[in-house]
């Protein structure tokens, strides 16, 4: 087992309480971590602030791109190690880590390194004042605190770190204390890539200690948080006292809408991918299936057929399709929501038998179809964050949109129809930040990601995600004088 400290000012710091991590895949011991306290988090903040002021603020945008590109190359060289570590730490299948999470993260680092979409300044004209010009600058904020969840730790680290560093900020990342391993490896590899000490610090600990230290610090200028809506509200309130910028990517209860003219075989696969990838432990998981009434039975037959073919086993086996549940607390929550919904009349249409096929010491919940779900049930309103698909019916387009929007959340949605005009029309009526048409879960570094309503504030990824990490300055330049400014001065100054 590797022993990890907190990564502060370029070195692993082992000062703190040690804790053994066990894999939710099979219960084996996988690493020893060091949990930071409030004071240790402040040390990381001080390191980031010092490096920003004395080193990083003078590094050019071109050089920052070069460093990110080198980081992507180093991680690529170790991608198999990252994939296994991510699978062991989270319980997700090795196939997902190896073919999706890790390569996607590497691609996203490369995207921010290579695409010239972000420029740190642009020139404008002032139509009111001929003969003048303006320079609009996109300046770094300073120290960015990034607080990431336990479900996709490598991708979340990349999504928060890469745009912040590209924009010229320094970062203190707090990964979940359940799944910090690939984030700590990434910090070590960033140093190997040539990032100065203190540019990227990683501290591991509880939200009530380390998280609060980051949110409350006057030296932190931006908080990027991904997690539950309830915790997001607390982050917003605590950040407001020091006027921090915030980015919040919170919960979701995303609908997958299937019309009667859809390619049902393709839709069935996309629906299963949308809910059972990572055992439903993704904020944008398509956890509500809205199906047009006259094709429901046919679609359910296809879904059950494919569910029966999903292979249970140890997630670290490349033949396994079903991920573990990352924490026992999360498994308990899934059970409670399903049972409360059943008490209100929901039926288990299908539950895959996995007992005896998964590791005895792993944490698992069977992929489940929950039928006859109404909008007032917990399965339709609460973020289950597990492999449970709530099935609901609709008669027409208007009812589909009404049910889809009948939620406090607005993170994502899917629309399945061969009629692209109709699909676009429906997509434009759904209140969500990402909407897939005849697809689900496919993410691009070029596309901004975030939510409407209680699913969050601000955006990650894309140009919009970089700009979240900046503050704007306008420089007004008058090179040769303008008669209009003389008119303006005359309002106050007489010759």
Report DSSP letters for 68-86, one per residue.
HHHHHHHHHHTHHHHHHHH
Please check whether residue 163 is in contact with residue 157, taking contact to mean a CB–CB distance below 8 angstroms: no
Catalytic (active site) residue 249? yes
* CA distances to 82, 186, 383, 457 from 160, in Å: 18, 12, 23, 15
Please check whether residue 267 is in contact with residue 258, taking contact to mean a CB–CB distance below 8 angstroms: yes
DSSP code of 13?
Answer: E
3-state SS assignment for residue 169: coil
Cα–Cα distance measured from residue 213 to residue 140, given in angstroms and rounded to the nearest whole number:
21
CA quadruple 119, 120, 122, 126: dihedral, nearest 10: 150
Catalytic residue among 86, 249, 383, 393: 249
Catalytic (active site) residue 283? yes
Name the nearest CA neighbour of 71 among 153, 233, 191: 191
Please check whether residue 319 is in contact with residue 98, taking contact to mean a CB–CB distance below 8 angstroms: no
Residue 78: how many other CB atoms lie within 10 Å: 13
Name the nearest CA neighbour of 387 among 441, 443, 444, 324: 324
Name the nearest CA neighbour of 49 among 59, 60, 57: 57
Catalytic residue among 283, 382, 393, 468: 283
Rg (Cα) of the chain, in Å, rounded?
A: 24
Cα–Cα distance measured from residue 64 to residue 109, given in angstroms and rounded to the nearest whole number:
12
Name the residues annotated as catalytic. 249, 283
């Amino acid at each position: 087992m590797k022993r990890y400290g907190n990564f502060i000012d370029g070195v692993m710091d082992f000062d703190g309480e040690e804790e053994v991590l066990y894999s939710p895949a099979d219960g084996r011991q996988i690493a020893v971590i060091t949990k930071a306290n409030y004071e240790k988090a402040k040390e990381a903040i001080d390191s980031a602030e010092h490096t920003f002021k004395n080193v990083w603020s003078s590094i050019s945008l071109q050089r920052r791109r070069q460093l990110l590109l080198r980081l992507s190359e180093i991680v690529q060289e170790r991608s198999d190690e990252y994939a296994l570590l991510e699978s062991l730490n989270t319980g997700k299948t090795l196939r997902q880590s190896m073919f999706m999470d890790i390569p996607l993260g590497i691609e996203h680092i490369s995207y921010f390194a290579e695409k010239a979409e972000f420029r740190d300044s642009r020139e404008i004209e002032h139509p009111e004042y001929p003969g003048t010009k303006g320079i609009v600058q996109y300046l770094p904020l300073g120290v960015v605190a990034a607080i990431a969840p336990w479900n996709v730790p490598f991708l979340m680290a990349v999504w928060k770190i890469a745009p912040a560093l590209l924009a010229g900020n320094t970062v203190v990342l707090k990964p979940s204390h359940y799944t910090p391993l690939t984030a700590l490896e990434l910090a070590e590899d960033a140093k190997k890539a040539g990032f100065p000490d203190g540019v990227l610090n990683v501290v591991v600990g509880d939200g009530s200690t380390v998280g609060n230290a980051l949110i409350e610090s006057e030296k932190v200028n931006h908080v990027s948080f991904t997690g539950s809506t309830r915790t997001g509200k607390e982050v917003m309130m605590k950040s407001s006292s020091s006027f921090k910028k915030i980015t919040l990517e919170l919960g979701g209860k995303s609908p997958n809408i299937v019309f009667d003219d859809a390619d049902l075989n393709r839709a069935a696969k996309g629906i299963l991918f949308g809910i059972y990838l990572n055992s439903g432990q993704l904020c944008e998981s398509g956890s509500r299936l809205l199906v047009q009434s006259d094709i429901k039975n046919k679609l359910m037959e296809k879904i059950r057929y494919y569910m029966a073919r999903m292979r249970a086993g140890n997630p670290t086996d490349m033949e396994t399709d079903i991920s573990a549940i990352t924490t026992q607390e999360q498994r308990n929550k899934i059970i409670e929501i399903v049972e409360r919904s059943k008490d209100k009349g929901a039926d288990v249409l299908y539950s895959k038998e996995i007992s005896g096929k998964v590791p005895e010491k792993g944490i698992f919940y069977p992929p489940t179809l929950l039928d006859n779900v109404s909008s007032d049930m917990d399965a339709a309103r609460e973020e289950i964050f597990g492999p449970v698909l709530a099935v609901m019916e609709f008669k027409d387009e208007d009812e589909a949109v009404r049910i889809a929007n009948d939620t406090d959340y607005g993170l994502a949605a899917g629309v399945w129809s061969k009629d692209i005009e109709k699909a676009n029309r429906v997509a434009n009526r759904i209140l969500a930040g990402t909407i897939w048409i005849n697809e689900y879960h496919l993410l691009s570094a070029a596309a901004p990601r975030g939510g409407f309503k209680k699913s969050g504030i601000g955006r990650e990824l894309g140009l919009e995600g970089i700009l979240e990490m900046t503050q704007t300055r306008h420089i007004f330049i008058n090179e040769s004088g303008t008669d209009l400014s003389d008119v303006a001065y005359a309002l106050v100054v007489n010759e």
